[in-house]
Amino acid sequence: MICGRPAVVIGHREGEKNLILFTWDKERKEYIYEYIDKDCGSANVYKFTNHGEDYILSANRETDEVALYRLWL
């Protein structure tokens, strides 16, 4: 669950190296996707909640960084 919705986060280290959030829109009956980051090459991600806000911590291997993303939908 991210921001109270079922969701999946997918990142890849090849090609465009994007980190993408997918959710299901009940009203439109379709998947919605949003780019969390582009050209980052996430190797591992961890979702956590702090004081009611959702975050993703990502090891962006291809850019040699650790990034923290605050999420809202």
- The ranges assigned to domains in the chain are 7-71
Report the pLDDT value the prediction gives residue 73, as an integer from 0 to 100: 67
| pLDDT tens string 33-69 | 999 999 999 989 999 999 999 999 999 998 999 999 9
| pLDDT tens string 21-37 | 999 988 999 999 999 99
Report the pLDDT value the prediction gives residue 53, as an integer from 0 to 100: 95
Render the chain in DSSP notation, one character per residue. -BTTB-EEEEE-SSTT--EEEEEEETTTTEEEEEEEESS--EEEEEEEEETTEEEEEEEEGGGTEEEEEEE--
Report the pLDDT value the prediction gives residue 21, as an integer from 0 to 100: 96
Residue 72 pLDDT exceeds 80: yes
